[in-house]
């Protein structure tokens, strides 16, 4: 069995990967990602009122021409999208949603009936002129959280900006209308008792649930859409013609977090899809974006701009037809909400399938078992490609989960067929190298073109929990980093040690670093130094140059410099266009960067505390380090046969360095380690099954 493919294969694979990245860059420049030149900011008349109707659990499937003609009409003539309602907890109950709207940042009221994984009935006693009951407790709990939410920002900004006040119609709406001390200036009746006449305030928050149905029904299933639609038709008849209306499912119901429906009507401009620079996804906005939009519509940002406490950005509208928007809204809401719940069961089922297939295959043929291992290594990229097929169409979650699993297996089979179809299949590292190349190309293209596959992928950014909406997430980076370092090691081995191999390693590492760290693409700070340092170390090994402390420090300094340059470039853009990188640079300037660091540290340590299974990745990483450092140790003897493949030992060291740096610089960095180990184990198993018995000497490999 030949270990390595020829140089022609190496050059062809390198050209394919770099060619894909060039195509991605050209497509991005042509407007395939976010933003779009045809989008326009959402603007009102400048003098009309703004009405926000908050509806617990509102989904696009609730709005139909037959049952909700008013809402359906507003949908057709206005701008629509899905709303990320995530507050301070994974499940956002009614009061939490209103409090987040009022703060412009993720928050939670922690009222009875909320938290503990279920949203029950929530009520609040409201007395005009007195602080909301429990407000001091909410302030204390908010201050203890690392999100730095400032309760009452909406009301305070309207008052201090001289643009008016905010009225509340219904007790829960008062939570969003309260000022920083918990007082609500103007309180109106609940929706069923309201005649629709608006007060003199410029902004009006309407509780779209209280009084329309039994509280238990609202808590479990959301407000009855038909009853709400009838009430909105009645009261909106009394509103001025230039009223801008926002209808939003501000919170979850029951036990399942999901993306909710949001629509805006009455503004000046075309009908279309909503988007914001905070999500950088057309058809998706978050609750803090609504806060920013309301303040902008009310004229409260004309002077000093948005308050620093508001985490969102004003929304824009991309001209699109009603049918296309509805199909997109339904698809994104269903897919993103489903993957949040299906990730564990589907990935667990796939693990069982591959373990069973591996056991059966290894009894018959080591080559057959290597094919199975190669297919397993293709699973991560296949979870992204699955988004190209509408697996989320079935109403049943069970059927959708089965269909998703089958689609992932289909893509894995196709990639494996390509990997084992050419003459390179007769070499040990040929098929794994092809899978690694496909993985790097697909995930990089998705990030450069806006991240739509990652948005609805099992291993994507998971927008329901509001961790990230675009760019390179930690799991995605873990996949790409493992794939590109394996690919670099394989290509360097095929080319033979020397300057050429070292340059190839650096080119691959630099290309992925640009994709990962460029503000308009990956917008990831922690991944850039991790990939650059590890690629730099691997390039030294490829060149046959000994690593010294000085060389290590120089590589680290260069990686830090590149990361800083990318961050500063983003910071130099206007505030509304900045990504995570520029926002952090501004935090450094303001002296508040420590709050971001503490939040990331809290998240990183919290994963180890709240998810004990994450310790499996920690223990496996420790075993790998032990095996690399001590060849005579049990894990060292297990790994020894792999060192027959040139550059694989150096590649393994580079992977460990990447994982350690990535873990330290990211809030959920253990995910980088976990998914990276999964890919590397499958890939190295595919290699090991085709090797002759024997051992390799790490010092010479």
**For residue 288, what is the domain's CATH number?**
3.40.720
As a whole-number percent, the residues of the chain with pLDDT over 90 amount to 66
Contact yes or no for 148/595 (Cβ under 8 A) = yes
Q: Which two tokens stand for residue 181?
A: 């001390």
Split at pLDDT 50, 70, 90, the class of 381 is very high
Residue 144 falls inside a structural domain: yes
Tell me how far apart the alpha carbons of residues 371 and 422 are, in angstroms, rounded to a whole number. 14
Q: State yes or no: pLDDT of 462 exceeds 80.
A: yes
Tell me how far apart the alpha carbons of residues 101 and 121 are, in angstroms, rounded to a whole number. 20
Residue 161 falls inside a structural domain: yes
Q: State yes or no: pLDDT of 552 exceeds 70.
A: yes
Pairing assessment for the beta strands 203-207 and 272-275 based on DSSP bridges? unpaired
Tell me how far apart the alpha carbons of residues 205 and 184 are, in angstroms, rounded to a whole number. 11
The pLDDT of residue 606 is 76
Q: Return the residue matching tokens 């340092």.
A: 533
Q: Using alpha carbons only, how large is the chain's radius of gyration in Å?
A: 27
Q: Return the residue matching tokens 């908010």.
A: 142
Angle of helix 430-448 relative to helix 366-377, nearest 10 degrees?
A: 10
| Average pLDDT of every residue of the chain | 90
Within its chain, how far is the Cα of 539 from the centroid? Answer: 31
The pLDDT of residue 612 is 83
DSSP state at residue 168: E
Tell me how far apart the alpha carbons of residues 134 and 129 are, in angstroms, rounded to a whole number. 15
Contact yes or no for 573/519 (Cβ under 8 A) = yes
Least confident of 8-17, 129-138, 354-363: 129-138
Higher local confidence (pLDDT), 196 or 130: 196
Give the other-Cβ count within 10 Å of 145's Cβ.
Answer: 15
The pLDDT of residue 380 is 98
User: Which run of H or E residues covers position 204?
Assistant: strand 203-207
Q: State yes or no: pLDDT of 79 exceeds 90.
A: yes
Split at pLDDT 50, 70, 90, the class of 664 is confident
Q: Is 432 exposed, middle or buried (0-12, 13-18, 19+ CB in 10 A)?
A: buried
pLDDT tens-digit map of 91-115: 999 999 999 999 999 999 877 655 5
Residues 294 and 182 in one domain: yes
Q: Which two tokens stand for residue 223?
A: 């407000």
Contact yes or no for 442/436 (Cβ under 8 A) = no
Give the other-Cβ count within 10 Å of 38's Cβ.
Answer: 12
pLDDT tens-digit map of 601-654: 777 777 887 778 889 999 999 999 999 999 999 999 999 999 999 999 999 999
Contact yes or no for 233/73 (Cβ under 8 A) = no
Alpha carbons within 13 A on the beta-carbon side of 697: 2
Split at pLDDT 50, 70, 90, the class of 216 is low
Pairing assessment for the beta strands 272-275 and 79-84 based on DSSP bridges? parallel
Please state, in angstroms and as integers, the Cα–Cα distance from residue 472 to each residue in 455, 468, 645, 666, 668, following that order.
Answer: 11, 9, 31, 12, 13
Helix (H, G, I), strand (E, B) or coil at 213: coil
Give the other-Cβ count within 10 Å of 256's Cβ.
Answer: 16
Q: Which two tokens stand for residue 53?
A: 């109707």
Residue 208 falls inside a structural domain: yes
Residue 325 falls inside a structural domain: no
Pairing assessment for the beta strands 166-169 and 203-207 based on DSSP bridges? parallel
Helix (H, G, I), strand (E, B) or coil at 11: helix
Residue 354 falls inside a structural domain: yes
Q: State yes or no: pLDDT of 669 exceeds 90.
A: no
Residues 347 and 231 in one domain: no
Q: State yes or no: pLDDT of 31 exceeds 90.
A: no
Split at pLDDT 50, 70, 90, the class of 55 is very high
The pLDDT of residue 576 is 75
Residues 269 and 394 in one domain: no
Residue 39 falls inside a structural domain: no
Q: Which two tokens stand for residue 530?
A: 């991790």
Write out the residue range of the structural domain in which residue 384 sits: 7-30+330-700
Q: How far is the first Cα of the chain from the last one, in angstroms, to the nearest whole number?
A: 18
The pLDDT of residue 694 is 58
The pLDDT of residue 220 is 65
- Extract the runs of DSSP E, i.e. beta strands, from 243-392: 244-251, 260-265, 272-275, 284-286, 316-319
Pairing assessment for the beta strands 40-41 and 316-319 based on DSSP bridges? antiparallel
Contact yes or no for 281/39 (Cβ under 8 A) = no
Pairing assessment for the beta strands 316-319 and 272-275 based on DSSP bridges? antiparallel
The pLDDT of residue 222 is 66
The pLDDT of residue 698 is 45
Tell which residue, 410, 474, 484, 412, has the closest CA to residue 441.
Answer: 484
Residues 231 and 340 in one domain: no
What does the pLDDT average to over 47-52?
Answer: 92
Helix (H, G, I), strand (E, B) or coil at 501: helix
Cis peptide before 80 (omega within 30 of 0): no
Q: 320, 351, 382 — which closes off a domain? A: 320
Split at pLDDT 50, 70, 90, the class of 163 is low
Q: SS3 letters for 561-630?
A: HHHHHHHHHHHCCCHHHCCHHHHHHHHHHHCCHHHHHHHHHHHHHHHHHHCCCHHHHHHHHHHHHHHHHC
Tell me how far apart the alpha carbons of residues 627 and 643 are, in angstroms, rounded to a whole number. 12
Q: Which two tokens stand for residue 145?
A: 């959280």
66 Cβ contact partners less than 8 Å away, ≥ 6 residues apart: none
Residues 419 and 528 in one domain: yes
What does the pLDDT average to over 552-567?
Answer: 93
Cis peptide before 35 (omega within 30 of 0): yes
Least confident of 243-247, 304-308, 438-442, 517-521: 304-308
Split at pLDDT 50, 70, 90, the class of 699 is very low
Higher local confidence (pLDDT), 478 or 143: 478
The pLDDT of residue 245 is 97
Higher local confidence (pLDDT), 640 or 699: 640
Residues 628 and 664 in one domain: yes
Split at pLDDT 50, 70, 90, the class of 187 is confident
The pLDDT of residue 214 is 61
Residues 156 and 195 in one domain: yes
Residues 246 and 368 in one domain: no
pLDDT tens-digit map of 351-373: 999 999 999 998 889 999 999 99
Sign of the CA dihedral with 611 first, then 613, 617, and 618 last: positive
The pLDDT of residue 250 is 95
Least confident of 128-137, 381-390, 662-671: 128-137
Within its chain, how far is the Cα of 230 from the centroid? Answer: 37
Q: 286, 320, 354 — which closes off a domain? A: 320
Residues 292 and 384 in one domain: no
Residues 142 and 272 in one domain: yes
Sign of the CA dihedral with 304 first, then 310, 311, and 312 last: negative
pLDDT tens-digit map of 475-511: 999 999 999 999 999 999 999 999 999 999 999 999 9
What does the pLDDT average to over 423-446?
Answer: 96
Higher local confidence (pLDDT), 276 or 147: 276
Residue 454 falls inside a structural domain: yes
Q: Which two tokens stand for residue 650?
A: 């150096």
Tell which residue, 197, 287, 193, has the closest CA to residue 249.
Answer: 287
Residues 308 and 449 in one domain: no
Residue 1 falls inside a structural domain: no
Q: Which two tokens stand for residue 125?
A: 């006693």
Q: 279, 297, 320 — which closes off a domain? A: 320
Number of domains comprising the chain? 2
Q: State yes or no: pLDDT of 598 exceeds 90.
A: no
Contact yes or no for 652/336 (Cβ under 8 A) = no
Split at pLDDT 50, 70, 90, the class of 406 is very high
Residues 235 and 383 in one domain: no
Tell me how far apart the alpha carbons of residues 271 and 501 are, in angstroms, rounded to a whole number. 54
């Amino acid at each position: 069995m030949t270990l390595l493919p020829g140089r022609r294969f190496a050059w062809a694979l390198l050209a394919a990967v770099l060619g894909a990245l060039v195509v991605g860059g050209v497509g991005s420049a042509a407007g395939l990602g976010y933003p779009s030149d045809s989008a326009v900011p959402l603007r009102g008349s400048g003098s009309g009122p703004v009405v926000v109707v908050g509806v617990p659990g509102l989904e696009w499937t609730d709005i139909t021409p037959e049952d909700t003609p008013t809402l359906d009409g507003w949908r057709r003539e206005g701008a629509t999208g899905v709303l990320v309602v995530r507050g301070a907890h994974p499940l956002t109950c009614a009061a939490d949603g209103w409090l987040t709207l009022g703060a412009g940042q993720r928050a939670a009221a922690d009222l009875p009936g909320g938290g503990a994984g279920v949203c029950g009935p929530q009520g609040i006693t409201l007395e005009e002129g007195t602080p909301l009951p429990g407000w001091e407790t909410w302030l204390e709990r908010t201050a203890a959280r690392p999100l730095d939410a400032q309760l009452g920002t909406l009301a305070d900004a309207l008052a201090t900006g001289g643009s008016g006040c905010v009225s509340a119609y219904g007790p829960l709406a008062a939570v969003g209308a309260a000022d920083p001390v918990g007082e609500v200036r103007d309180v109106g009746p609940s929706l069923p008792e309201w005649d629709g006449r608006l007060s003199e305030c410029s902004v009006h928050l309407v509780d779209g649930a209280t009084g329309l149905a039994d509280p238990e029904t609202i808590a479990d299933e959301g407000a009855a859409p038909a009853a709400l639609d009838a009430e909105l038709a009645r009261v909106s008849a009394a509103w001025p013609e230039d009223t801008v209306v926002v209808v939003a499912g501000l919170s979850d119901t029951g036990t399942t977090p999901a993306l909710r429906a949001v629509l805006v009507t009455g503004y000046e401009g075309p009908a279309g899809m909503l988007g914001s620079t905070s999500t950088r996804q057309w058809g998706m906005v978050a609750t803090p974006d609504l806060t920013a939009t309301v303040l902008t519509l009310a004229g409260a940002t004309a002077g000093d701009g948005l308050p620093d406490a508001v985490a969102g950005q004003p929304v824009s509208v991309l001209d699109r037809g009603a049918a296309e928007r509805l199909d997109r809204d339904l698809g994104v809401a269903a897919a993103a909400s489903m993957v949040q719940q299906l990730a564990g069961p589907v990935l667990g089922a796939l693990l069982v399938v591959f373990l069973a297939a591996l056991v059966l295959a290894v009894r018959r043929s080591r080559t057959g078992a290597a094919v199975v291992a190669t297919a397993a290594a293709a699973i991560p990229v296949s979870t992204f490609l699955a988004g190209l097929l509408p697996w989320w169409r079935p109403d049943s979650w069970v059927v959708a989960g089965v269909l998703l699993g089958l689609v992932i297996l289909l893509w894995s089979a196709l990639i494996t067929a390509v990997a084992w179809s050419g003459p390179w299949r007769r070499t040990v590292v040929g098929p794994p190298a092809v899978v690694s190349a496909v993985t790097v190309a697909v995930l990089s293209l998705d990030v450069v073109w806006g991240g739509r596959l990652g948005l609805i992928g099992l291993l994507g950014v998971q927008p329901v929990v509001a961790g990230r909406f675009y760019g390179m997430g930690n799991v995605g980076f873990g996949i790409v980093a493992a794939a590109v370092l394996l690919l670099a090691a394989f290509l360097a081995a095929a080319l033979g040690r020397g300057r050429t191999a070292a340059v190839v390693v650096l080119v691959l590492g630099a290309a992925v670093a640009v994709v990962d760290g460029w503000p308009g693409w990956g917008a990831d700070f922690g991944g850039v130094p991790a990939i650059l340092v590890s690629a730099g170390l691997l390039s030294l090994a490829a060149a046959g140059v000994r690593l010294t402390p000085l060389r290590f420090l120089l590589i680290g300094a260069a990686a830090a410099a590149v990361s800083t340059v990318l961050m500063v470039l983003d910071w130099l853009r206007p505030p509304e266009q900045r990504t995570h990188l520029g926002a952090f640079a501004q935090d450094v300037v303001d002296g508040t960067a420590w709050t971001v660091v503490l939040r990331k540290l809290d998240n990183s340590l919290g994963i180890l505390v709240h998810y004990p299974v994450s310790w499996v990745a920690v223990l496996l990483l420790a075993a790998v380090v032990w095996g690399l450092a001590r060849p005579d140790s049990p894990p060292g003897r297990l790994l020894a046969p792999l060192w027959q493949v040139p550059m694989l030992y150096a590649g393994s060291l580079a992977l460990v360095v990447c994982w350690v740096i990535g873990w330290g610089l990211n809030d959920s960095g253990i995910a980088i380690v976990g998914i990276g180990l999964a890919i590397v184990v499958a890939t190295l198993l595919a290699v090991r099954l085709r090797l002759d018995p024997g051992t390799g000497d790490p010092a010479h490999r």
